[in-house]
Amino acid sequence: MMRLPLIIVVALGVSFSIFSQDSSYSSRESSSQYIDDYMTIKNILKECGISDSLLSLISKMEDGKIVFLDLSNRDVGQDGIKALPVIIGNLSALKTLIARDNVIETIPPEIFKLRQLKTLILSSNKIVSVPLEIGDCVNLDSLDLSHNEIESLPGELADCKNMTYLHLMGNKLTAMPLSIAKMPKLKDLHLKDNRLTNLPEGIMSMKSLAYIDFQNNILCNVSPKLEAWLKVKDKQYRSLQRCR
């Protein structure tokens, strides 16, 4: 394992025992890259009130850069973190970010500047809106915002051209952006347990869409064409809506 010069280790207050907790941390392009991401992750943990002892459990490193970070709440007796640290946006190689079961209300726009981010899981929080900057996250493949308090989505979501999985069940959505029909790779769309009264008719022409879940919404007065399409997806669709 490559060792950092002793003077650097002493200055940062970092012990070799921490560096060697996980074998993934032994692979790095340079000590400077390693120090940058390591100190960033240390500051993230501090902001979140998470012990350094969990470092190797909640993060993974490849070639000296953090690629995986899980800030999920592991204590069912506590609320968890209230905000995602903005400095997560400095982890330029991050591919997977998870922060389930917390009390997060907002998503920092800086998160969506992470061009390598492929998986973002923020389910079971208190998020009320999604930043317009989500469209900058061009490589995002899977987005899970289920069980939050989101009422609407920005049209910029459709700029995530590589997205295949979109989980939005258990929110307060009343409508979907018309632009969703322009997501060419979307395969799975989960809309269960929202307040949707209609769907964009363009959704019917999405060739890649293999699965859609729309139970327990208010899709009661849709166009005949859309109603026919919904019945193809689920013959019992109307009985599964909250229609009076």
The domains of the chain are located at 1-59, 71-240
Structure tokens at 46: 């501090």
pLDDT for 232: 93
pLDDT for 7: 30
pLDDT for 241: 94
- Residue ranges, the chain, pLDDT below 50: 1-30
pLDDT for 76: 64
Cβ-based neighbour number of residue 135 at 10 Å: 18
Contact 172, 195 (CB under 8 A): yes
Contact 97, 111 (CB under 8 A): yes
pLDDT for 34: 64
Q: Which fold has domain 71-240?
A: 3.80.10
Closest residue by Cα to residue 183 from 201, 167, 207: 207
Percent of the chain predicted with pLDDT > 90? 75
Instruction: Calculate the alpha carbon distances from 35 to 1, 99, 214 in Å.
Output: 15, 24, 46
pLDDT for 19: 39
Instruction: Calculate the alpha carbon distances from 104 to 109, 154, 239 in Å.
Output: 14, 19, 34
> Residue 205 carries which side chain, given as an amino acid letter?
S
Percent of the chain predicted with pLDDT > 70? 85
